[in-house]
Amino acid sequence: MEVKAHPLAKADKGSGIAMVCTFGDLTDVTWWRELQLPTRAIVGRDGRIIGEAPEWVTTAEGREAFAAIAGKTVFSAKETVVELLTAAELLDGEPKKIMHPVNFFEKGDKPLEVVTSRQWYIRNGGRDAERRERLIARGHEIDFHPAFMRSRYENWISGLNGDWLVSRQRFFGVPVPVWYPLDADGNPDFAAPIVPSDAQLPVDPAADAAPGMRKPSAMCRAASPATPMCWTPGQPRR
């Protein structure tokens, strides 16, 4: 177990040490990003605990415990974890309900669960001090008009805390002409990207069909698991 320092940890609260549980809330996301922690995701896109035990669960007891929560919703998995801890006599007293702020999605009554997904980034120095210095040095080779824009540029580069995400699943996201076939469970197969040829570029994913596929403005429907469906990272899944 590693102990890392971060200004968001409150030294005057409890022991002053916080457990980073990726991703319990947005503070955890900040810690994960700024401390460059490894990603250990167990919640799938369907909001349920993934079916197979992750590779970091190495003991037989751990894998047996994980099997007890696999496939369950987050709420049901939480109840099962409490039962497992109680049976192992690892709780200090009886479990108690607590109240704490959580985020809800706009038109629902369930808390948000932060899940991971494959995205495309352009490295801009937000996670690389050496790259930031090169970008600032590059700026000194440019004549800025008006001159104060040089300071604005350098302040912007110095304030970056993450790389530039270009494949956000938003209606007005940057369209990227890449598609992935979906497996039988509806998950993108990132090992088999579908890309257009140079002669087919430029491609507008909102209007043009993927190579050999129908238009991806809405997710293609598959007649069977053997028929690939398509999804483009620059457009929302529907």
- Domain ranges (residues) in the chain: 121-165, 167-238
Nearest CA to 178 among 212, 145, 211, 218? 211
Is residue 175 over pLDDT 60?
A: yes
Q: What is the pTM of this model?
A: 0.60
In whole angstroms, what is the distance from residue 173 CA to residue 192 CA?
Answer: 23
Q: How confident is the model at residue 206 (pLDDT cuts 50, 70, 90)?
A: low
In whole angstroms, what is the distance from residue 102 CA to residue 21 CA?
Answer: 15
Is residue 225 over pLDDT 60?
A: no
Q: How confident is the model at residue 169 (pLDDT cuts 50, 70, 90)?
A: low
Q: How confident is the model at residue 131 (pLDDT cuts 50, 70, 90)?
A: very high
Q: What is the pLDDT of residue 170?
A: 65
Nearest CA to 180 among 167, 196, 199, 195? 195
Q: What's 37's DSSP letter?
A: P
Q: What is the pLDDT of residue 223?
A: 27
In whole angstroms, what is the distance from residue 204 CA to residue 176 CA?
Answer: 8
pLDDT digits (tens, 9 = 90+) for 49-84: 998 899 999 999 999 999 999 999 989 999 999 999
Which of 3-7, 153-157, 190-194, 195-199 is predicted with the least confidence, judged by mean pLDDT?
3-7
Name the percent of the chain lying above pLDDT 70: 80
